[in-house]
Amino acid sequence: MYEVLLPFGLIIIAGVVFKRLRVAGVDAESVRVAINAAVLNIFLPALCIKAVYTARIDARLFLVPVASWMTTLVSLLFSLGLYTLLEKRMRIAPAEKGILVIGATFGNVLYLGLPVLTGLYGSEAAKYALFYDLLAATPVLWIFGAAFASRYGEGRGTTVGESVKTIATLPPIWGIIVGFGLKLAAVPVPGLLLKSLGMLGDTVVPLMVFSVGLALSLPKVKHAIIALPAVFMKLLIVPLVAFLAGGVLGLKGEPLAACVVEGSMPTMIIALLVASRFRLDVSLAAFLIVVTTALFFLTLPLIVYLTGYLV
């Protein structure tokens, strides 16, 4: 397990050091934005095409995004109920409540989940991360999560039409569609092209993990108390919900384990973008990302250990 986690930890630390030292005078945020743009528009679509085209496709694979929909929606409602009960007692402001619920629900299921799954179960497991995120977690975020964030924030609201447009224009979504189209039509893809797609896709994991390090920042300690329930929820409760959702759907073995591992991911990096866009508490979003990412290296081995017995 730690043979998988330690390299990720070292790459994240490298990102933090790069940001701290301002290597070559380059602004780390600009580097992160550039990396994210390249991954989203070039490298990840290439990975999606090859992963889907070469993967073994069966009915269980299509249950993974269903489990993700169930897990994410149930977790969103649970965390909302939890912080509705706590907001008066803990004097939580609306902008804080909004990001706490988002941070407790939505994990880093692609940027960190993809490399972790492939590290644990091999390159074939990439399909689970792609389906879990792009066909479920991302749509839930931009349809339901964005509507929730706009209610508790002070930024511009978003319509269902805008959310659907955001999802429909994501290049990785089209990568999955292209991969499926080629596979279903039995189109022979030249080996040279597959190798090129593979080389592009191979850059996704280190770039994603390095980007996580670039995004981390020192949090405010005053957020520790109100964030504690969200941290507990994200790292321990959401994986349990994922296990129950997968069990209800009849998932077993590696697909179920993949859902549980994806559910155990720390707060998504995109929480910073959501907080900024809808004027939620950005510093609290950073705190959740830092704390859950740090504790993730302690909780994931436990989750994987228990998953080995449960699935």
Give the pLDDT of residue 218. Answer: 67
User: What's phi and psi for 267, nearest 5 deg?
Assistant: -55, 135
The string of DSSP codes covering 29-83 is HHHHHHHHHHIIIIIHHHHHHHHHHHS---HHHHHHHHHHHHHHHHHHHHHHHHH
Give the pLDDT of residue 222. Answer: 64
Torsion of CA 209, 212, 214, 218, to 10 degrees: -140
The model's pLDDT over 200-220, given as tens digits with 9 standing for 90+, comes to 988 887 887 788 788 776 666
On the CB side of 203, CA atoms within 13 Å amount to 16
Cα of 294 vs its chain's centroid, Å: 15
Percent of the chain with pLDDT over 70: 94
How many other β-carbons are positioned within 10 Å of the β-carbon of residue 35?
Answer: 18
For each of the chain's 311 residues, which pLDDT tens digit applies? 667 678 878 888 898 899 888 887 888 888 888 888 888 889 989 988 988 888 777 778 899 999 999 999 999 999 999 999 998 888 899 999 999 999 999 998 887 888 889 888 888 888 899 899 888 998 898 888 888 888 887 655 566 677 778 778 888 889 889 998 998 888 898 989 999 998 998 888 788 778 878 877 666 666 788 999 999 999 999 999 999 999 999 999 899 999 999 999 999 888 877 887 788 887 788 888 888 988 998 999 899 888 776 65
Give the pLDDT of residue 235. Answer: 96
Burial of 37 (0-12, 13-18, 19+ CB in 10 A): exposed
- Token pair 């994603």 is found at 208
Q: Is the dihedral of CA 262, 115, 102, 227 positive or negative?
A: positive
pTM for this entry = 0.81
Give the pLDDT of residue 220. Answer: 64
Q: Average per-residue pLDDT in the chain? A: 86
Q: What is the largest CA-CA distance in the chain?
A: 62
Amino acid at 245: A
